[in-house]
Amino acid sequence: MEKSYLTAQKHWEKDELDEISYQIIERNYNELLPQAYEILLNADSIETVRDTLNKYLNPHQQTRLFSEQIPIIFSYKGSTGAALYYPDNEGNFIVLVTAVNTYGKEIQKHVLLLAITLLLLSSVLTFFMGKIYSGRILLPLQHLLKELGRIRGNNLGKRIKCSGNHDELDKLTASLNEMLDRIDNTLKSEKSFVSNASHELNNPITAIQGECEISLMKQRTPEEYIESLTRIATESERLSQLTRHLLFLSRQENDLLQNMVEDINLAILLSELCEDNSRINFIIQQSGSTNGSFMVSGNYYLTRTAIQNMLDNACKYSEKEVEVILKDKKESIIIEIKDQGIGIPANELPNIFQSFYRASNTRNYAGQGIGLSLSLKILSLYGAKIEVDSQLNAYTHIFITYNKPILRS
């Protein structure tokens, strides 16, 4: 478009401009698109002009050129052109300039080549920088995986050190350490359980075998055979009961929950358990703000077994009266079992619910150390909480708490 203006000025403004101004126009003309093809038409000869314009412009472009007298850009045989209507004191003219912008194409090629080169360089640079930084980012994770790979079944006490950055990796490390703690504790409990179970099972089996061997060593009287069979029957019953308890402790909670769950009236259940023992004093306490409901959900047989174990312990370790109190609170139901027996050493109190654990002051009392762990598993399964308060050679108080369901209006 600029070339068309310069062409018009070069041809028709020479007589109207001073020499310096015209030289400037002529220099700009020679510098801008020197290979341009120019056509100068006299717009006053409309018929002649139309034949030439029809080669380059369509009717719509021609109408705009004459009516609006604005430059028209067009394309002709692969080149770009501009048509300009130029009125002058010598007449009205039309300037057509077409050219192939070789310089622009060269620039376009260079820019395209430069863009491709920069793209390749940036891709290579991004690849290597990403590899370096990803290696640095993944280095702590690789270290973590390496440390985890070193932990085996024989060194579960080993823990992974935190970096101290307090980031997500530290949180992951802490979670893994907590998981290792749980696995370690579980495996230790399993080993202890198996060891204790083997020992407890071995005792009655050894007693039965020994009794049979002694009885078969020589001819015995009927009374001696009866006495021997009585001891074998006692050990067999002990073995049978121990086996049932072990099978129960080994069952998962989902299996236990499949047992029939029903509504249990604790007042009736405790009355049945306490009435057969004259040493147990059963008391029911109700507050004025409650409705006196002692209903809880659970398996009747299992719940009865759990509470029976605790009552048996209270009676076994105490020669005095045992008090059982059933309380109806606003939000909970509480069973208190109080005895005035040998008590539990304070440092051993946290361990009493472990399988096969027996306090140091119970060595002279019969038992296998399963009753409390069995009771805890059963009662916890049905939503009860157990707390124990005890003083050595004074008393033991057990609190069993059931939370009442929240009633919504």
The domain segmentation of the chain, as residue ranges, is 2-100, 168-250, 256-403
What's the pLDDT at 252? 56
Per-residue CA distances from 241 to 121, 200, 330, 354 (Å) = 80, 11, 39, 18
What's the pLDDT at 280? 93
Q: Is the pLDDT of residue 400 over 90?
A: yes
What's the pLDDT at 61? 82
Q: Please state which CATH class domain 168-250 belongs to.
A: mainly alpha
* More confident of the two residues 31 and 70: 70
Q: Is the pLDDT of residue 45 over 70?
A: yes
The tens digit of pLDDT for each residue in 184-203 reads 877 776 776 676 667 667 77
Three state DSSP letters for the chain: CHHHHHHHHHHHCCCCCCHHHHHHHHHHHHHCCCCCEEEEEECCCHHHHHHHHHHHCCHHHHHHHHHCCCCEEEEECCEEEEEEEEEECCEEEEEEEEECCHHHHHHHHHHHHHHHHHHHHHHHHHHHHHHHHHHHHHHHHHHHHHHHHHCCHHHCCCCCCCCCCCCHHHHHHHHHHHHHHHHHHHHHHHHHHHHHHHHHHHHHHHHHHHHHHHHHCCCCCHHHHHHHHHHHHHHHHHHHHHHHHHHHHHCCHHHHHCCCCEEEEHHHHHHHHHCCCCCEEEEEEECCCCCCCCEEEECHHHHHHHHHHHHHHHHHCCCCCEEEEEEECCCEEEEEEEECCCCCCHHHHHHCCCCCCCCHHHCCCCCCCCHHHHHHHHHHHCCEEEEEEEECCCEEEEEEEEECCCCCC
Average per-residue pLDDT for the chain = 79
- Which region among 150-154, 177-181, 195-199, 320-324 has the lowest average model confidence (pLDDT)? 195-199
Cα(267)–Cα(327) distance, rounded to whole angstroms?
Answer: 10
Mean local confidence (pLDDT), 134-159:
78
- Superfamily of segment(s) 256-403: Histidine kinase-like ATPase, C-terminal domain (3.30.565.10)
Cα(19)–Cα(255) distance, rounded to whole angstroms?
Answer: 111
Percent of the chain with pLDDT over 90: 19
Question: Could you tell me the pLDDT band of residue 290, with boundaries at 50, 70 and 90?
Answer: low
Cβ atoms within 10 Å, residue 138: 12
* More confident of the two residues 22 and 212: 212
Quick one: CA dihedral 46, 51, 55, 59, positive or negative? positive
Cα(270)–Cα(266) distance, rounded to whole angstroms?
Answer: 6
What's the pLDDT at 353? 86
What's the pLDDT at 120? 93
Mean local confidence (pLDDT), 175-181:
87
What's the pLDDT at 253? 57
Mean local confidence (pLDDT), 49-53:
78
pTM above 0.85, yes or no: no
Q: How far apart are the first and last CA of the chain?
A: 85
Return the ∠ at Cα 9 (arms to 7 and 14), rounded to 5°.
Answer: 125
User: Which range is most confident: 88-92, 230-234, 399-403?
Assistant: 399-403
Percent of the chain with pLDDT over 70: 80
